[in-house]
Amino acid sequence: MSGIKLISTGSALPAQEVTNFDLEKKVDTSDEWIVTRTGIKSRHYCGEGESHLGLCLAAARQALERAGIEPGQIGVCLVATLTQDTMTPSAACVLQKELGLAEDTVCFDLNAACAGFVYGLHTAECLLAASERKYGLVIGGEVLSRITDFTDRSTCVLFGDGAGAAIVRWGEDYPSLSAVMGSRGNSGVLYIPGVNTGDPSYIHMDGKEVFRFAVEVLPRCAKEVAAKAGISLDEVDRFAFHQANQRILDHAIKKLKLDPAKCTGNIAHTGNTSAASVPILLDQLVSSGQLRSGQKVLCAGFGGGLTWAGALLQLA
């Protein structure tokens, strides 16, 4: 058996918190509609002077400091995102310089939408096995407010900005992530036009179809991860599911018969932060003592692509 353990976490949210009441002033919506349909009460948006890089950097620095390791010990740096500041250089590439990572660190961005961070964990596990340096930095960071169409009330109330980071370490005697991943090419249900289409790069979504997809794939993915790890879902200490919509989460919790106390989320005050959602939640679980040394957390994400991914991560 070989794999990675979670060593430390960090996260960063923009200073500006935007409540549903703030949105009511510029969008034809209501706090009551948003809370009932999604569980979201507020989200954070980047303001002047804040950026994708700034959020990723803050989260990464916090995680590095808590791990008590030097940047030069990192062998792999991955950023899961679809809203990096520049197409090139990638966010991971810029972090190489800003964090002082060694030049031979494997640095790249990865786009698997809201499943991106868990894709990143699995990718880091594979790459670290072949790396001389056994620490990896995996970040999920998004500035979704910049690709939100504020004339579309069915999407604009859902999203927020933020970043989360994890330092992981590969060990020969560490448990495997037992990662499960999938993708189902679908360009119609949830998409953002690319630079070559000439269309503004806004999030387009068929909410009902995404809902159907999510309630199908999230419980299945969680079950498959546990089966691959050879444990029952009862033996999992915590669940860190992508925070897209409280109703999707409630559905999965009920279908899997999970203890809701093990499924604490943060959607009420972050909204959906896509690839950043799972690592921000992980950081909040670790910082608040809800995820402790030796415990196992089942992470799962799902989103545009359509993509999904799940993994069982143990806190060192």
List residues binding ligand ACO (CB under 6 A): 29, 33, 37-38, 114, 153-154, 157-158, 190, 205, 207-208, 210-211, 214, 244-245, 248, 272, 302-303
Three-state secondary-structure class, residue 236:
coil
CB of 249 to ligand ACO, least distance (A): 10
What single-letter DSSP state applies at residue 35?
Answer: H
Nearer to ligand ACO, 99 or 156 (CB): 156
The distance from CA 244 to its chain's CA centroid, rounded to whole angstroms, is: 10
d(CA 79, CA 77): 7
Q: Which of 93, 114, 156, 299 is catalytic?
A: 114
Helix boundaries (H) for 39-191: 52-67, 91-99, 116-129, 153-156
CA dihedral 279, 285, 288, 290 (to 10 degrees): -160
Question: Measured from the CB of residue 172, what is the shortest distance to ligand ACO in angstroms?
Answer: 36
Residue whose entry in the numeric block shows the structure tokens 């503004």: 200
- Within 13 Å of residue 230, how many CA atoms lie on the same side as its CB? 3
CB of 91 within 8 A of CB of 84? Answer: yes
Task: Report in angstroms how near the CB of residue 128 gets to ligand ACO at its nearest.
Answer: 28
| DSSP 3-state of 44 | strand
Of the candidates 168, 113, 107, which has an alpha carbon nearest to the alpha carbon of residue 137? 168
Tell me how far apart the alpha carbons of residues 19 and 289 are, in angstroms, rounded to a whole number.
27
Q: Considering beta carbons, is residue 58 or 112 the nearer one to ligand ACO?
A: 112
Of 44, 242, 245, 299, the active-site residue reads: 242
Residue, CB closest to ligand ACO: 207
Q: How far is the CB of 89 from ligand ACO (least distance, A)?
A: 27
242 is catalytic: yes
CA separation, residue 203 to residues 55, 113, 124, 200, 298 (Å): 21, 11, 28, 9, 28
Q: Please, which residue, 136 or 141, has the CB nearer to ligand ACO?
A: 141
Q: How far is the CB of 145 from ligand ACO (least distance, A)?
A: 14
Give 36 or 232: the residue with its C-beta nearer to ligand ACO.
36
CB-wise, 117 or 302, nearer to ligand ACO? 302
Tokens of 226: 């546990």
Tokens 């303001």 belong to 47
Least distance from ligand ACO to the Cβ atom of residue 245, Å: 4
- Complex with ligand ACO: residue 19 or 295, whichever CB lies closer: 19
Per the rule left: phi > 0, alpha: psi between -120 and 50, beta: everything else, 60 is alpha
In this structure, the number of other CB atoms found within 10 A of the CB of residue 76 comes to: 27
Whether 114 is catalytic: yes
User: Does the annotation count 251 as an active-site position?
Assistant: no
Enumerate the active-site residues.
Answer: 114, 242, 272
